[in-house]
Amino acid sequence: MRLARDLAQTLEDTARLHPKEVQAPAALVPDWPVMLCRHEVSNKLISAYLDDIGLGAKCAINADGQRTAKYSLRTPINRFVWRKLAGLPLSIALISDIPAIKAIDLDALPKLTKANAKDWADKALMPYLTAMYENFSDVPEFSAILHRPGVNTRGQQRREIRKDIIRALQSLAPAA
């Protein structure tokens, strides 16, 4: 716990004193560690800090702070989809010996938007998830999906998971 706190404090100090040094990595992600005190919580203060470091400016999802985001990364399926989406290029490079994963061509997909979220689900995330998880019940974020009525076979599970992946991608994606 202390190490995490110290790391977050160091990162915050670096961002405050040298914001240009953290702008490149901050632009690619939707979230950032921040030290908060109960008596100092101010949305203006936090927003100014995140604007200074350019949080989410070049992120694949709607995270730049310029457009209203109607999602939360605290929602398990949204957090899961974001993490898989962010890690997909590295996963493909590392485990390309699995034919279904090697077949995923991220370069053939346009930049993620609400309009093409279904393509991203069908051509990237679902093939990856199907190849990686022989048993979808191994994924805690899928638990509620798998307990829906009529979701018994792997095909039914895949169909319901796909629906939720598409919904998550549509909520996470920028409009255009």
pLDDT, residue 50, reads: 80
Do 167 and 80 fall within a single domain? Answer: yes
Proportion of the chain above pLDDT 90, given as a percent: 51
Say if residue 160 is in the same domain as residue 117.
yes
Residue 44 has pLDDT above 90, yes or no: no
Mean pLDDT of the chain: 87
Which tokens go with 138? 């191994």
Collapsing DSSP to helix, strand or coil, 120 comes out as helix
- 142 and 85 both lie in a single domain: yes
Angle at Cα 80 formed by Cα 100 and Cα 99, nearest 5°? 5
Q: What is the per-residue pLDDT across 129-143, written as a single tens digit (0 to 9) for each?
A: 999 999 999 999 999
- Would you say residue 61 lies in a domain? no
**C-alpha to C-alpha distance for 47 and 66, rounded to whole angstroms:** 11
pTM flag (> 0.85): no
Q: CA torsion angle for 52, 62, 29, 48 (degrees, to 10)? A: 20
- Determine, yes or no, domain membership for 49: yes
By residue range, what is the domain housing residue 21?
A: 2-53
The predicted-structure confidence for 60-100, as pLDDT tens digits, reads as follows 777 767 766 677 778 899 999 999 998 999 999 999 899 99
Output the pLDDT for position 164: 96
Question: Is a pLDDT exceeding 80 seen at residue 34?
Answer: no
**Are residues 130 and 162 located together in one domain of the fold?**
yes
Q: Are 107 and 89 in contact (CB under 8 A)?
A: no
Give CA angle at 62 (47, 27), nearest 5°. 60
Q: The tokens of 28 are what?
A: 């690619």
